[in-house]
A and B are shown apart, each in its own frame.
Chain A
């Protein structure tokens, strides 16, 4: 099964397996949600390249970024033409959740974002690996080990920063505070997602919400951090309502292919 999954996702990556396309609008949209989450966070983490607190952390974050960009490429490649979707869509057409587009801030805020996202993504991919659409299942099955590592790494750093110096604990708490209002969106189920869940294609995030809350609370307790107070949830990423930060990210990411459309690597 593992081999088959890999082969299939490699085929998807090379564009030799069937793509969903816009004749199946719901799945087309869902693949973009999954792909956009991974690609945007990968691009964000890439911004640390050369700027991380230590060379080793630079490599850690770049490894995470590359895993995520790979997952993004797989899901966007399943949706349609990955390059076209990545480089020629304007901000209103992006379907990622708001958490992943948030700025890196300091290292603690980046780790807070990673903990909250990777824990969710890990649980989601575990569910998606059993998707009734075997193409979606194959991509998730390939990503689940990568994401398990991201989750552990983020938890390790959360614990060290939270239970570190006064300054690192303060920064970690502020990072969590910044990211906390974007968590409810991860568990939002709209009509489109409801339909895909009913068909067994999409994973239902509500099924693991309490497990998620417990997992985060366990890490924060070990880090000697308080869970932030619940804030007014900010939603809308799945419908293309993004924060100002995404436009700037896309400007950097899309500049080259848009300015030189025929550029070759």
Chain B
């Protein structure tokens, strides 16, 4: 048996209650339960988290890097989508 034959799992860690789980990396493991153990042993050794998710990497639907032009570049010049684009009149309070 070798780790190279094992499927890949993406690991998400919740740093503390109330925060969302964040992607931290991936592990190889033969099944879901051992993927959790490997995630625990690899990514929470220094008290990084209070909760773990593992997801089969094959279940992640990813965007195609070749499409990044049409997907993302149109947003580059839409600076008005950032709140900092707008001047707030002095009379407006509480914003």
Is A bound to B? yes
Across the two chains, which residue of chain B brings its CB closest to A164? B1
Enumerate chain A residues within 8 angstroms of B77, measured Cβ to Cβ: none
Total interface residues on B, CB under 8 Å, equals 17
Interface stretch among B33-41, B64-72, B84-92? B33-41
Enumerate chain A residues within 8 angstroms of B42, measured Cβ to Cβ: 56, 59
Q: How many A-B residue pairs have CB under 8 A?
A: 39
Cβ contact of B34, chosen from A55, A63, A160, cutoff 8 A = A160
Could you tell me the distance between the alpha carbons of A74 and B9 in the complex, rounded to whole angstroms? Answer: 36
Across the two chains, which residue of chain A brings its CB closest to B42? A59
Across the two chains, which residue of chain A brings its CB closest to B1? A53
A156 smallest CB distance to B (angstroms): 6
* Known contacts A53-B3, A54-B3, A160-B34; A63 and B41 CB within 8 A of each other: yes
Indicate if the CB atoms of A56 and B33 lie closer than 8 Å. Answer: no
A60 sits at the interface (CB 8 A): yes
Can you list 6 A-B pairs with a CB-CB distance of less than 8 A? A53-B3, A56-B42, A60-B38, A63-B41, A160-B30, A160-B34
Residues of A bordering B, CB below 8 Å:
53-57, 59-60, 63, 153, 156-157, 160, 164-165, 168
Q: Pick the 3 closest A-B CB pairs, nearest first.
A: A54-B3, A56-B38, A60-B41
Known pairs A56-B28, A59-B45, A60-B41; list 12 more (Cβ under 8 Å). A53-B1, A53-B2, A54-B3, A56-B3, A56-B29, A56-B38, A57-B3, A59-B41, A63-B41, A156-B33, A156-B37, A168-B1
